[in-house]
Amino acid sequence: MDKLKIIDFKESDRDALRELFLKVRQSTFVWKDPEDFDLFDFDKQTLGEYIMTAFYEEKIVGFISIWLPDNFIHHLFIDEEFQKMGIGKELLKAAINKTGFPIKLKCLEKNIQAVQFYKKTGFIEKGKGGVGENSFIAFELNQEIE
C-alpha cells in the first residue's frame, strides 16, 4: 500500500480531522441523533492523546488516537470512502509499534462493523460494560497483526 502514509499528528491537520471525525460518527452511529455530534468533539475527545494520521495519495483518510499510559486506543476512524482498504489495520500496526502489547480498546456493541473488524484483526473480547446504546465490548490484542 505505497500510496498510504501514516504520520504523527500535525496541528495543520486538525481541521480536516475534525471534519472526518464528525462525518464518520454521524453516518456510523445511526442510532444517535446527528445533531448530538459537534465539530469540536475531536479536540475534546483526543485531548492528551497520541494521534497518528493516515494519508492516502496526500488526502487525510483516517486517524488513530491512543491514551499512552494505558496502551488504550480511544479512537480509530477511517473516511467511509476508504474503508475496507487495509488503512485501519495499518493504523493499528503503527499504534502497536508505538505502544507494544497488550493494546486495549472498547467498542460500542451497536457498531457491528467495527466489532467484526477488531475480531478479524485478532483482538480478544475481555469483557462487556455499559447499558443500552452505550453497551460496549472491551477488547485486547497481544499478538502481531498480519
Q: Which three cell numbers stand for residue 33?
A: 441523533
> Rounded distance, CA 73 to CA 91, Å?
11
DSSP code per residue over 33-81: -GGG--TTHHHHHTTT-EEEEEEETTEEEEEEEEEGGGTEEEEEEE-GG
Residue 2 has pLDDT above 90, yes or no: no
**Residue at grid coordinates 453497551:** 135
CB-CB contact of 137 with 106 (8 Å): yes
- Domains of the chain, first to last: 4-141 (3.40.630.30)
95-130 pLDDT, tens digit per residue, is 999 999 999 999 999 999 999 999 999 999 999 999
Model's pTM, two decimal places? 0.96
